[in-house]
Amino acid sequence: MLGKKALEGIAAYKYKAGSYTYLDNVLNHFWTASVQLLPIWMAPNLVTMIGTVVMMFTTVVQLYFAPHFSEICPTWVYVLSALGLFFYQTMDALDGKQARRTGASSPLGQLFDHGCDAVCTVFNVLSAAATCQVGVGLRPYVALSSVSISFYLAQWEEYHTGVMSCGNGFFGVTEGQLTLVAVHLLAAVFGAGFWTAELPFATPFPVTMTDVLIGALVASNVLLAYGNISNVLRAAPDAIPRDELGNKHISKPLALFQLIPIGILLVLGSLWICGPDAVNYENYPVLFLFPIGIGYVFFSTRMIVSHMCKIPFTPQLRVIIPFGFVIFNAYGPSVGILSKPLIPTILASSLYVVFIVLVYLHFVSGVVKDICDFLNIFLFKIKPVTTETEKTK
C-alpha cells in the first residue's frame, strides 16, 4: 500500500503539538489523573480504539430508536449518547499521554488517532441529528457535509503549511465535543422537545432551537474553512522546511486542485438525496448519509497519510466513479437516458455502502500493516524492549 519513500517519510515524521484552548488546559488536570488508571500494558492505539468503539456503539443504539432522525428516544438513550461521547473524548485525550507514559510513541499513533477522529466525526453528526430530531431532508446532510469538509480542510492546511488549525484559540475540538455532550444532556433533562421548540420570542418565520444549532454549526465551519483556505493561499513557498517537506508537492494551483474531489462529492451527494431517490432517502436516511460521510473520511485519511508520509496527495477517484454510477442509475429514467434503472435504486445504494466501506477498510488496513512492518511495532500491543544483553544471547 505504501512505497519505500512513504515509509521512510513517516519514520522521520516529527509530531508537532497544536494550540490549546483554555478548556484544554483546565481538563488537562483531569486527563493527567485519568491516564494513571489505565494499565501500563495497554497500548495507546488500544486506548483510542476502545473510545471509538464505545462511541460508535452508543450511536448505533440511538439510531435504532431514531432511524429517521425524528423519533423520540427514551431518556436513557440520550444519557448513553452523552456518556459515550464524553468517554470517547476522554480516551482520545489519553492516548497521547499513555504513549509517553509507556514509551510507545510512534507516528502510527498520531495517524491512527486522526483516522479514528475522522470516522467518529460522521457518527457524532448522526447521533446529534437524532437527538435534535432534525428529520430527513437537507438539514442532516448540510450538518454532515459542513463538519466533514471542515475536517478535511484542517488536514489539507496542515499538508501545505505544516500547521493544523482546529479552532480559533478560544473554541476548538474539545469545546465542540463537549457542546455535543451538552446537546444530548439537554434532551435528557428537558425532554426531546427541547430542540424542536420554537424560540420564545418573535421571529419573521418559525425558528427552532435545532435551526439555531445547525445555523451556528454551519457558520462556524464556514469561518474555519475561510481561515484554512486563507492560510494556505497566504503561506510562503518555503513555509515547510525542506527536511519536513520530503516528497510532497506544494503549490497554490495544486492546493486548489485538491479541493475538487471534495467538491465533486458534495455535488453528487446533493443530487443523490434531492433527486429521484429522495423517497428512499426519506425511508432510509442513514443508508444515504453514512456512505457520503465515509467518502469524506476516505479523502481526509488519505490527506493525513500523505502529510505524515511526506508524499504527493492522490485523491483516488475510485470512490467517486461508482458513486457517479449510482446517481446515473437514479436519474437515468427521469432524464430519458434509461427506460428504467439498471438495478433497483435501493440495491444500488446498498451496494455502494458496502463498496465504500470495504475500500476504506482495505486502504486503512494496508497502511497500518505496512507501517507496523516497517517500524517493527504492533498496532494494539506494546512491543517488549529488547536490551543489548538479550540481543547477544
Q: What is the dihedral of CA 88, 53, 110, 87, to 10 degrees?
A: 10
Q: Which of 235-239, 266-270, 334-338, 375-379 has the lowest mean pLDDT?
A: 235-239
* Domain assignment present for 167: yes
CA–CA distance, 129 with 58 (Å, rounded to integer): 14
Predicted pLDDT of residue 364: 95
Cβ distance 135 to 287 under 8 Å? no
Q: Which of 143-152, 158-167, 210-219, 341-350 has the lowest mean pLDDT?
A: 158-167
- Helix residue spans in 66-208 (DSSP H): 75-102, 107-131, 138-161, 173-190
* Domain assignment present for 387: no
Predicted pLDDT of residue 392: 47
CA–CA distance, 226 with 145 (Å, rounded to integer): 15
Tens-digit pLDDT profile for residues 44-100: 999 999 999 999 999 999 999 999 999 999 999 999 999 999 999 999 999 999 999
Cβ distance 45 to 106 under 8 Å? no
User: 195 - beta bridge partners?
Assistant: none
CA–CA distance, 133 with 98 (Å, rounded to integer): 37
Which is the catalytic residue, given 114, 160, 184, 307? 114
* Domain assignment present for 391: no
**CA nearest to 9, candidates 304, 367, 306:** 306
Q: Which three cell numbers stand for residue 233?
A: 493561499
Active site residue 114: yes
* Domain assignment present for 313: yes
pLDDT at 166 over 70: no
Tens-digit pLDDT profile for residues 212-265: 999 999 999 999 899 899 999 998 777 788 878 888 888 899 999 999 999 999
* Domain assignment present for 392: no
pLDDT at 295 over 90: yes
Write down the number of H helices and E strands in the chain: 16, 0
* Domain assignment present for 388: no
Within its chain, how far is the Cα of 106 from the centroid?
21
pLDDT (mean) for 333-344: 88
Q: For position 27, which CATH number holds?
A: 1.20.120.1760
Range of the domain at 132: 4-198+205-379
- Sequence letter at residue 229: I
Predicted pLDDT of residue 195: 93
Predicted pLDDT of residue 278: 81
Q: Which three cell numbers stand for residue 239?
A: 513555509
Percent of the chain surpassing pLDDT 90 = 67
Task: Give the total number of structural domains in the chain.
Answer: 1
* Domain assignment present for 253: yes
Q: Which of 26-30, 165-169, 338-342 has the lowest mean pLDDT?
A: 165-169
Predicted pLDDT of residue 386: 59
